[in-house]
Amino acid sequence: MKRILKIIGAVIAFFAVIIFIGGESLVQKLFTGAKLEAQWNTAEGDVLKDLSYGEGYRNTYDLYLPANNSPKALMLFIHGGSWISGQKEDMAWAAERYAKEGYVTASINYTRLRSDSMTYESGYVKPCMQSMMAEIGTSIKAIKAKCAELGCNIEQMSIGGYSAGAHLAMLYSTLYADKSPIPIKFQISWVGPSDFNLLFPTPEKADVQGAAPAEERGKFVAQMNEFIYGLSGKDLDVQNLTVEQIKAIKSVISPVEQVNRNTPPAVLVYGDKDRLVNAVHGKKMSEMLAANGVHNQLFIFPNSGHELGHDPEYAERVQHTILEFCKKYFE
């Protein structure tokens, strides 16, 4: 008989706190050496700020239009911040850089876990991974329509992000490559979690009843219920979930578990000294893509952690490779 989890356990709680709380301060430290900033000026194009793609107060995006008035592709970027913090401006460096190369670029906000509430009609009472997927799709549809309004017929795109944003980009690519309002030609992950069972390990034995006063156990269970809702989009009682069910919930939102032969090619970038999102996430994703015949390029920065800030020569290689992917996969 399957073992019933009374409480998910201290191990998952530990990792959840590291990611959910650590992200708020960590986001301020990103890109110290990896972003390769490209100075933007008005002669190179226009930036349309705070455009709306939906009814939620976080359903906004910034659109970067290169001076070249006939761009043929969109490059969409999603911010990180552990799914609970961050903002679209955090990806301005990427949007500016690739707009300078002649592509329409955009960076989006999304309704975040814990930090935000649902302010529009949806099938979800609170933000979750599934609502984020829906928002990404809605944003792409709105961006396509806005570009058409401005005279740009966009029929192909790439999608990428940093950390939590990279996870969302990979997950959207693996789940919706064939259904995206604009066909996705390739994806980019800067230190994105690809495997939630690796990120949040589930102990085989997690019954910790009696380990703390009843009030503390109650708070812990409530927090874990919220955590599971954020992953699954469902109100589930963690005290009545099996280990196998917990793992299955995390597998569904793990890009590495969703890869198939139609998954778009990928540029994968990770830090060998990253203690937040281990480089194993990149290796596993690369191996799974290769096993399905999907072209990918994996970079592991040898001296960098999550901020990718100590290997500028590797950052240059990534920049070159992304532009090569643009030339190869944008028709």
Predicted pLDDT at 220: 78
Looking at the fold, whether 191 and 304 belong to one and the same domain comes out as yes
Looking at the fold, whether 86 and 161 belong to one and the same domain comes out as yes
Looking at the fold, whether 191 and 204 belong to one and the same domain comes out as no
Contacts by residues 52-57 (CB-CB < 8 Å, ≥ 24 positions apart): 52/142, 53/108, 53/135, 53/138, 53/139, 53/141, 53/142, 53/143, 54/120, 54/135, 54/138, 54/139, 54/142, 55/119, 55/120, 55/121, 56/111, 56/118, 56/119, 56/120, 56/135, 57/116, 57/119
Looking at the fold, whether 167 and 39 belong to one and the same domain comes out as yes
Looking at the fold, whether 240 and 91 belong to one and the same domain comes out as no
Q: Alpha carbon of 192 to those of 83, 184, 254: distances in Å?
A: 11, 18, 11
Looking at the fold, whether 62 and 137 belong to one and the same domain comes out as yes
Adjacent-strand bridge partners of 159? 76, 187
Predicted pLDDT at 40: 66
Tens place of pLDDT per residue across the chain (331 aa): 334 344 444 344 444 444 443 443 343 344 444 555 566 676 778 999 999 999 999 999 999 999 876 788 999 999 999 999 999 999 999 999 999 999 999 999 999 999 899 999 999 999 999 999 999 999 999 999 999 999 899 999 999 999 999 999 999 999 998 899 999 999 999 999 999 999 988 776 545 444 556 667 778 788 888 999 999 999 998 888 888 999 999 999 999 999 999 999 999 999 999 999 999 999 999 999 999 999 999 999 999 999 999 999 999 999 999 999 999 999 8
Looking at the fold, whether 274 and 163 belong to one and the same domain comes out as yes
Predicted pLDDT at 191: 98
Looking at the fold, whether 134 and 260 belong to one and the same domain comes out as yes
pTM score, whole prediction: 0.90
Looking at the fold, whether 108 and 172 belong to one and the same domain comes out as yes
User: For residue 252, which amino acid is it?
Assistant: V
Phi, psi for residue 76 in degrees, rounded to 5: -105, 135
Looking at the fold, whether 123 and 171 belong to one and the same domain comes out as yes
Predicted pLDDT at 219: 80
Which residue from 31, 67, 18, 17 is spatially nearest to 190, judged by alpha carbons? 31
Predicted pLDDT at 237: 87
* CATH code for the domain in which residue 279 is found: 3.40.50.1820
Could you give the number of structural domains in the chain? Answer: 2
User: For residue 233, which amino acid is it?
Assistant: G
The pairing of strands 60-66 and 45-52 is antiparallel
Looking at the fold, whether 296 and 313 belong to one and the same domain comes out as yes
Q: Within 13 Å, how many C-alpha atoms sit on residue 44's CB side?
A: 16
159 in Cβ contact with 132 (< 8 Å) = no
Looking at the fold, whether 229 and 303 belong to one and the same domain comes out as no
Q: Which domain holds residue 216?
A: 4-23+199-248
Where are the strands (E) in 7-57, listed by range? 45-52
Predicted pLDDT at 36: 54
CB atoms within 10 A of CB 43: 6
